[in-house]
Amino acid sequence: MTQTSYIQITTYCQQTSIDTDFVITLEKYGLIKTKTMETQLFIAEDDITEIERMFRLHKELGVNLEGIDVINNLVKRLKTVESELNSLKKVLALYE
């Protein structure tokens, strides 16, 4: 089992110029998970790339949070379908 590293939301937001309210709103929509330790909110370092991707969608393309949620769901489904397709290609290669 791997150990997950966490970073304090306020520290992360200060370093990246991403609004703290945006990150908290992402958590309210269920797009990321936060962890509370000693009255401070933390995010997993694994979620940082996702937060930055969602922030770019929101700020640069003007996508609202509902749209970001839809995009995330579609990306997850696409990854699942790609994984299934690769598995099926491997099985098919056995019969060729």
Question: Which sequence spans correspond to the domains of the chain?
Answer: 6-94
Each residue's pLDDT tens digit, 13-36 = 999 999 999 999 999 999 999 999
d(CA 78, CA 95): 26
This prediction has a pTM of 0.80
Report the number of secondary-structure helices (H) and strands (E) in the chain.
Answer: 4, 3
d(CA 44, CA 42): 7
Phi, psi of 76 (to 5 degrees): -65, -45
pLDDT at 5 over 80: yes
Residue matched to tokens 């700020």: 59
CA atoms within 13 A on the CB side of 77: 6
Instruction: Name the residue among 39, 40, 29, 38 with its Cα closest to residue 7.
Output: 40
pLDDT category at 96 given cuts 50, 70, 90 is: confident
If you classify domain 6-94 with CATH, what class do you get?
mainly alpha
